[in-house]
């Protein structure tokens, strides 16, 4: 349920309503828009139905949210959320590109890639210090050493950092080094992990599970927001279908659909979505045309020797060429990169 306040509602009136609702044993979430404030109420709605909330000073109307994902929905927050990552704003007019290797392999390679993707227009460096792999014998990542490499490259380049966390026990560690905490596709419904990152102060990048519906995806985001963290971005990275010509099927339908249903920014990962480096640029363009707020691209200086996902990684000069084309397309869409 949401309580829509009048444009002139005072802080005292807002605090009074929140206090009353909390006394009923319900949880409140406040969304402050440009023109008005909305109070989201989480809990048993029957308790509220006997309360004359419309009679409270400052209240314009009280509405039920029909969607099962309450805080994520456009009903709760009609305007787009813009997430500030240390000055890099995700969800606004500017399309934000996150780029880097799948895995953090060593410092020199990471620094080399960081410098090159920044010069091409990337704002955020991606790289995995912990790697979820199908085989227990595959490279699992460098752990905290990899996180330190990411931190040091940030100091050298000024790029912000996004990296994945896999375990609730490691959230504190990743939070210490990263600017954005990524929850990968395999953990989209790891609800304990979602609650843990929801208690973090760092922005969260939540990737869609490989067999998840849009509704399930948004319900997972609801876990993050309900724990108190509204700085959540959603990442479409391809879903598993009967088609085997590509690694996954990049579901670009989801981009405009999610933006209709939710106020959260939407990122697209065409690297994982296709699994083929020569399809990354075309699908990145398609993602921008569909309305994506950002892209996540894998870049490696020598894909043949990459520890993971070399077949879908762009070499730096191809990434640079793609970025030039994306700038033209973004401008045609009324946006910037």
Q: Are residues 44 and 143 in the same domain?
A: no
In a domain, 219, yes or no: yes
Residue 291 lies in a domain: yes
pLDDT at position 100 is 98
- Quick one: 138 and 207 in the same domain? yes
Answer yes or no: do 154 and 225 share one domain: yes
Tally of structural domains, the chain: 2
Alpha-helical runs (H) found in 52-123: 107-120
Domain holding 289: CATH number? 3.20.20.70
- For the beta carbon of residue 81, count every other beta carbon within 10 angstroms: 20
Q: Residue 56's domain spans which residues?
A: 2-63
Residue 77 in any domain: the answer is no
Domain with 57 in it: what CATH number? 3.30.70.1140
Tell me: do 138 and 58 sit in the same domain: no
- The confidence score (pLDDT) of residue 304 equals 92
What's the pLDDT score for residue 48?
Answer: 67
Structure tokens at 310: 């070399």
Shared-domain flag, residues 191 and 263? yes
Q: Residue 75 falls within a domain, yes or no?
A: no
Predicted confidence at residue 67, as pLDDT, reads 87
Q: Are residues 302 and 234 in the same domain?
A: yes
Domain co-membership, 30 together with 146: no
* Nearest of 288, 100, 81 to residue 178 by alpha carbon: 100
Give the pLDDT confidence score for residue 136 in this predicted structure: 73
Beta bridge partners of 32: 37
N-terminal to C-terminal alpha carbon distance within the chain: 37
Nearest to 30 by CA among 55, 49, 66, 58: 58
pLDDT of residue 173: 95
Domain co-membership, 29 together with 108: no
**Helices 316-332 and 107-120, interaxial angle, to 10°?**
30
- 311 and 231 both lie in a single domain: yes
Name the domain boundary from 34, 63, 92: 63
Distances (CA, A) of 95 to 98, 134, 202, 321: 10, 32, 20, 17
Same domain assignment for residues 271 and 169: yes
- 146 and 278 share a domain? yes
Is 182 inside any structural domain? yes
Which two three-digit tokens encode residue 89? 């704003």
pLDDT of residue 133: 65
**Would you say residue 78 lies in a domain?**
no
Residue 29 near residue 38, CB atoms below 8 Å = no
Q: Is residue 36 part of a domain?
A: yes
CA distance 237 to 292: 12
Same domain for 53 and 182, yes or no, is no
Angle between helices 191-198 and 214-226 (to 10 degrees): 40
Instruction: List the chain pLDDT tens, one digit each, 337 residues.
Output: 888 888 888 889 889 888 888 888 888 888 887 777 888 888 776 776 667 778 888 888 888 888 889 999 998 888 999 999 999 999 999 999 999 999 999 999 999 999 999 999 999 999 999 877 667 766 667 899 999 999 999 999 999 999 999 999 999 999 999 999 999 999 999 999 999 999 999 999 999 999 999 999 999 999 999 999 999 999 999 999 999 999 999 999 999 999 999 999 999 999 999 999 999 999 999 999 999 999 999 999 999 988 888 999 999 999 999 999 999 999 999 999 9
Whether 110 is in a domain gets the answer: yes
The angle that helices 316-332 and 277-290 make with each other, rounded to 10 degrees, is 20
């Amino acid at each position: 349920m949401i309580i829509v306040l009048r444009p002139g509602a005072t802080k005292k009136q807002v605090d009074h309503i929140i206090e009353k609702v909390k006394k009923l044993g319900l949880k409140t979430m406040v969304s402050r828009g440009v023109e008005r404030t909305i109070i989201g109420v989480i809990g048993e709605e029957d308790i509220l139905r006997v309360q004359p909330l419309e009679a409270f000073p400052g209240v314009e109307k009280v509405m039920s949210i029909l969607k099962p994902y309450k805080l994520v929905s456009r009903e709760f927050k009609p305007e787009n959320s813009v997430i500030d990552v240390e000055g890099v704003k995700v969800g606004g007019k500017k399309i934000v590109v996150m780029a880097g290797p799948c895995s953090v392999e060593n410092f020199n390679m990471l620094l080399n890639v960081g410098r090159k993707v920044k010069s091409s227009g990337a704002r955020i460096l991606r790289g995995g210090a912990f790697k979820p792999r199908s085989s227990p014998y595959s490279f699992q990542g460098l752990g905290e050493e990899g996180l330190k490499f990411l931190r040091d490259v940030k100091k050298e380049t000024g790029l912000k950092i996004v990296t994945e966390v896999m375990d609730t026990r490691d959230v504190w560690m990743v939070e210490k080094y990263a600017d954005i905490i990524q929850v990968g596709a395999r953990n989209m419904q790891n609800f304990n992990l979602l609650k843990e990152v929801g208690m973090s102060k760092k922005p969260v990048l939540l990737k869609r599970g490989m067999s998840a519906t849009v509704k399930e995806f948004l319900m997972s985001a609801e876990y993050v927001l309900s724990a108190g963290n509204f700085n959540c971005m959603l990442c479409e990275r391809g879903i598993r279908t009967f088609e085997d010509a590509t690694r996954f099927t990049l579901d670009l339908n989801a981009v405009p659909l999610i933006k209709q249903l939710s106020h959260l920014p939407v990122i697209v990962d065409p690297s994982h979505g296709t699994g083929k480096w020569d399809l990354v640029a075309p699908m990145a363009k398609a993602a921008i045309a569909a309305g994506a707020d950002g892209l996540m691209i894998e870049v490696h200086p020598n894909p043949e020797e990459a520890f993971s996902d070399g077949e879908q990684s762009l070499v730096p000069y191809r990434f640079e060429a793609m970025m030039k084309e994306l700038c033209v397309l973004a401008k045609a869409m009324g946006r910037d990169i």
